[in-house]
Amino acid sequence: MPHTKSVTRSRKKWEGSLFKFIFYTTLVGVLLFVLDFGFDKTRQAQLWFNGFYFFVIALGISSTVVRYLKKAKKARRSVLLFDSFSIVITLLILLAHFFGEESHRHISFLYSDNWVKFAILLTFIREFSEQEINYRRTLLNPAQLFIASFLGIILLGTALLMLPNATHQGIHFLDALFTATSAVCVTGLVVVDTGSYFTLFGQSVILFLIQAGGIGILTVASYFGYFFRGGASYENQLTLSDMTGGSKLGEVFATLRRILVITFSIELVAAALIFLSLDRGLLPSFFQRVFFSVFHAVSAFCNAGFSTLSNGLYESGFRFNYALQIVIILAFALGGLGFPIVVNIIKYLKYFIGKKIFYFRGKQQTHRPWVLNLNSRITLVTTLSLSVVGTVLFYFIEYGNTLAEHRGAGKWITALFGATTPRTAGFNTVDMAALDFTTIMLLFLLMWIGASPASTGGGIKTNTFAIATLNFLSLARGKTKIEIFRREIADISVRRAFAVIALSLVVIGTGIILISAFDKEKHLLDIAFECFSAYSTVGLSLGITAKLSAASKFVIIAVMFLGRVSMLTLLIALFRKVKPHHYKYPVEELTIN
């Protein structure tokens, strides 16, 4: 019996080592995949690369088959479908390559090196998902892990953008770091033109960084692991619960699944609608139109503001494409609402439709459930109020100025775009340098408020602004509590809101002072606009970003990063939590006014 256990342990150890070897081999395959795009190679080097790719693919297929042969429990249908699809498409790619393009005309489209790289990516995803990822709280708390993940992806993005084939003429480290930070922090400020400076590979890297920064690289990695293994450790669930803001531990991965489904569904629909709205004369190639659509759909939903057009959506031929503008508005509005709000709205719509169906069938409901929660109600009311007021003000202020070239409904659509894009979207359909001073002041306020909590946008957030407004209204009425929609707002929410407001002003103020010292010739209005835009991850600029000194660029990088992870999260990551003590000091009131 002891001998049998020893043999079993040895076999499991050997199998574990073998699967680790396969994983690291696929990791090397992905690294070569990146270098393949990033560098020009000789024909001999390319043959070596291709040979290693086929070796990795063969290992991946063998690994998947072995796992099914040795599995004691039945695999889930979703995993089985993924594996079946991966193996079938991989075998077809191998068939097209090894037996020649002419032998299999019906699959000749697979006779491309890019399909081999796609198979490598599928293999890596499968092997990576089998790895045990443990978020140890003794090493990093959730706030530290969140910040570390952003720093890691920024540094990776910087390295990728510095590859020779990522740009047409090379890029300095500082500019690559600035671009990577702007993409990961979904800001949109640029020091070089995205469309003309970066190659297709470089633009694809920026697209990947925007997506990773928008939904979080840990979200994707964690859900893939759960999807294939069907479970996760208690410690991992606890950490992810803190990071996603989930109230129920058992719903962590359901929340992650919703985030991914919502993100990719909206981006897919937005990309399709953008594609249909494009003028073929401006983008004659089918691939150009597809890439433009996907890039702008992802950039819009993630509130990044990056565009492959030199002048953004103000580019000639696009500024009057109102259908395109409406799609972009809907995409960044949904991204800016936040995942919990979108989920709650979907839940409410299901309830509303069900209620109407029951009503027409003659059934009466005995009670009215609280479906649309307080968080959603405050967010929707605040967002709608800011959008309506902002649009009306923008329309009348800019009517004879930047809106003069538009007619009829086009004026209102452009005004709506101009009022909603400062709330962290960052696209522009008007000449920013020509805006009236009053409009710029309006944009300051809208940028500072930003999007909603748990969204892809930045700023102090709509709920923070709403709580501050409700607080001073309560004080004016002599109330000691903040009450709205028959609910009382918790004291911790009020304290957190005012901490966020104070810290945002500290970061923005510090940024303005530093840039004013480093670039004395720049106007204070331009500097302030840049810092507000960077902190709120908006991406709008009055045209000074590329002209900033190296020191000022570092300041903007820091402000963008702090705006994305939030200063409060950074403080939580730096300070050790104090254990609660069950005592209370005498209360005294301070003189405030």
What are the pLDDT digits (tens) for 441-465?
999 999 999 888 877 778 888 889 9
pLDDT at 166 over 60: yes
Whether the CB-CB separation of 518 and 555 falls below 8 Å is answered with: yes
| Whether residues 318 and 170 fall in one domain | yes
* 160 belongs to a structural domain: yes
Residue 231 domain-assigned (yes or no): yes
Q: What is the mean pLDDT of the chain?
A: 80
At 441 the pLDDT is 93
Q: Are residues 163 and 198 in the same domain?
A: yes
Q: Is the pLDDT of residue 2 over 80?
A: no
What's 591's DSSP letter? P
Q: How many angstroms separate the CA atoms of 177 and 554, rounded?
A: 9
Query: Does residue 9 have a pLDDT over 60?
Result: yes
CB burial readout 458-490, b (16+ within 10 A) else e: bbbbbbbbbbbebbeebeeeeeeebebeeeebe
pLDDT of residue 559 exceeding 90: yes
Ranking 97-111, 420-434, 454-468, 566-580 by mean pLDDT, the lowest is: 97-111
Q: What is the dihedral of CA 233, 238, 239, 245, to 10 degrees?
A: 140
The length of the chain is 593
Percentage of the chain exceeding pLDDT 90: 27
Q: With contact defined as beta carbons under 8 Å apart, do 531 and 559 qualify?
A: yes
Looking at the fold, whether 108 and 158 belong to one and the same domain comes out as no
pLDDT level of residue 295 (50, 70, 90 thresholds): very high
Of these ranges, 52-61, 94-103, 132-141, the one predicted with the greatest mean pLDDT is: 52-61
- Does some domain include residue 82? yes
Across the range 176-204, mean pLDDT stands at 90
Indicate if 191 and 326 belong to the same structural domain: yes
Tell me: do 29 and 76 sit in the same domain.
Answer: yes
Evaluate if residue 111 carries a pLDDT over 70.
Answer: no
pLDDT of residue 105: 56
CB contact set of 378 (below 8 Å; sequence gap of 6+): 462, 463, 466, 484, 485
Q: What are phi and psi of 229, to 5 degrees?
A: -90, -20
- Distance (Å) of CA 463 to CA 75, 379, 453: 43, 6, 7
Percent of the chain with pLDDT over 70: 79
CA distance 572 to 333: 29
Is residue 552 in a domain?
no
200 and 240 belong to one structural domain = yes
Mean pLDDT of 76-85: 72
- Contact present, 134 and 236 (Cβ < 8 Å): yes
How confident is the model over 495-535, as pLDDT tens digits? Answer: 888 888 999 999 999 999 999 999 999 999 999 999 999 99
**For residues 308 and 297, what is the distance between their CA atoms, to the nearest angstrom?**
12
Please give the pLDDT value at position 1: 53
Tokens of 457: 């946008």
**What pairing do the DSSP bridges indicate for beta strands 487-488 and 483-484?**
antiparallel
pLDDT at 112: 65
pLDDT band at 234; cut points 50, 70, 90: very low
Give the residue numbers spanning the domain of 284: 142-333
By the 10 Å C-beta count (0-12 exposed, 13-18 middle, 19+ buried), 493 is classed as: middle
The verdict on 172 and 247 lying in the same domain is yes
Q: 567 or 327: whose pLDDT is higher?
A: 327
SS3 337: helix
Q: Which of 142, 290, 144, 279 is nearest to 207 (CA)?
A: 290
In this structure, the dihedral spanned by the alpha carbons of residues 357, 363, 367 and 371, taken in order and rounded to 10 degrees, is: -10
Name the DSSP letter for residue 166. Answer: G
How does residue 226 score in pLDDT terms, banded at 50, 70 and 90?
A: very low
pLDDT tens-place string over residues 419-433:
999 888 888 888 888
Which residues have CB under 8 Å from 220's CB, separation 6+? Answer: 212, 260
Asked whether the predicted pLDDT for residue 109 surpasses 70, the reply is no
Task: Look at 127 and 191; give whichever has higher pLDDT.
Answer: 191
pLDDT at position 367 over 50: yes
Higher pLDDT pick, 6 / 88: 88
DSSP sequence for 119-161: HHHHHHHHHHHTS-----TTT--HHHHHHHHHHHHHHHHHHHH
Task: Flag whether 371 is in a domain.
Answer: no
pLDDT at 223: 47
Does 104 share its domain with 28? yes
For 71, counting Cβ atoms within 10 Å of its Cβ (0-12 exposed, 13-18 middle, 19+ buried), the class is exposed
Q: What are the backbone dihedrals phi and psi of residue 160, each rounded to the nearest 5 degrees, phi first?
A: -65, -40
Least confident range of 55-69, 136-150, 176-190, 333-347: 136-150
* pLDDT-derived band at 71, boundaries 50, 70, 90: low
How far is the CA of 403 from the CAs of 83, 318, 409, in angstroms? 53, 15, 11
The whole-number pLDDT of residue 257 equals 72
The DSSP element (H or E) to which 483 belongs, if any, is strand 483-484
Token pair, residue 323, equals 């259908």
Domain count, the chain: 2
484 lies in some domain: no
| 8 A C-beta contact, residue 296 and residue 266 | no
Rounded to an integer, what distance in angstroms lies between the CA atom of residue 508 and that of residue 460?
12
431 is a domain residue: no
Q: What is the pLDDT at residue 214? A: 79
Q: Are both 9 and 77 inside the same structural domain?
A: yes
Which alpha helices (DSSP H) does 162-285 contain, by range? Answer: 173-184, 194-197, 200-215, 217-229, 234-244, 252-277
Q: What is the pLDDT of residue 341?
A: 83
Question: What distances in angstroms separate CA 166 from CA 172, 194, 269, 565, one per listed residue?
Answer: 12, 11, 28, 27
**419 in Cβ contact with 333 (< 8 Å):** no
Measure the CA–CA gap between 361 and 359, rounded to whole angstroms: 5
Which of 61, 36, 25 is closest to 117 using CA atoms?
36
246, 311: one domain: yes
Query: 87 in a domain, yes or no?
Result: yes
Residue with the bigger pLDDT between 28 and 289: it is: 289
Q: At what angle do helices 200-215 and 142-161 cross, to 10 degrees?
A: 170
Q: Which residues pair with 487 in a beta bridge?
A: 484
Which residue did the predictor score with more confidence, 105 or 373? 373
Asked if the model's pLDDT at residue 294 lies above 50, the reply is yes
Look up residue 477 and give its amino acid: R
Find the mean pLDDT for residues 568-579.
71
- Regarding whether 70 and 30 lie in a shared domain, the answer is yes
Q: Phi first, then psi: give them for residue 198, nearest 5 degrees.
A: -100, 145
Spatial separation of the C-alpha atoms in residues 263 and 334, rounded to whole Å:
10
Cα separation, 131 vs 231, whole angstroms: 12
Band (554; pLDDT cuts 50, 70, 90): very high
Residues 76 and 215 in one domain: no
